[in-house]
Amino acid sequence: MPEPYWPKRKNSYTLGDAERMPGRLVRIRCRYCKREHFYELGDLRVVLGNIEVDDVVYAMKCSGCGKDRTLDVELVSVSAGDRQKTTVRRLVAIRYLRRPVWRDE
Ligand SMILES: [Zn+2]
């Protein structure tokens, strides 16, 4: 019996929950510029923390047009064969900026 992707109760399904089911990717699509990217759940969890899947759209901006609040997020199930053909945007590194803040006293 396959489980539903989206539980009935909102705010109850985290990236970590979704990650437990193998073969899932997150598709994030911009309604404005129509760009879409696929992400690994684990990569998003590292960057955003274990937030609810619904909240991913509030934590990201479109990498194409730079707008926020234009993104749609969807969990998709991909077979191993389709995974080979899908370009997935993987996390390469997280850079921390060191920025001094000054105050005159
Ligand atoms: Zn966009």
| C-alpha gyration radius of the chain | 16
> How far is Cα 39 from Cα 99, in angstroms, rounded to an integer?
29
- Centroid of ligand 1 to alpha carbon of 57 (angstroms): 12
Residue 59 located in a structural domain: yes
d(CA 28, CA 20): 19
- Average pLDDT for residues 10-37, to the nearest whole number? 90
- Give 16 or 7, the one with higher predicted confidence: 16
- 61-81: average pLDDT: 92
Domain presence at residue 49: yes
Q: What is the pLDDT, as a whole number, of residue 1? A: 47
Statement: residue 102 has pLDDT above 70: yes
* Side-chain-facing half-sphere of 6: CA atoms under 13 Å: 10
Range of the domain at 43: 15-85
Residue 25 in domain = yes
Cα-to-centroid distance, 26 and ligand 1 (Å) = 16
Is residue 65 domain-resident?
Answer: yes
Residue 39 lies in a domain: yes
Q: Is residue 62 a part of any domain in this protein? A: yes
In a domain, 96, yes or no: no
- Count: domains in the chain: 1
Model confidence over 24-68: pLDDT tens digits?
A: 999 999 999 999 999 999 999 999 999 999 999 999 999 999 998
Residue 90, in any domain of the structure? no
Ligand 1 centroid from CA 68, angstroms: 8
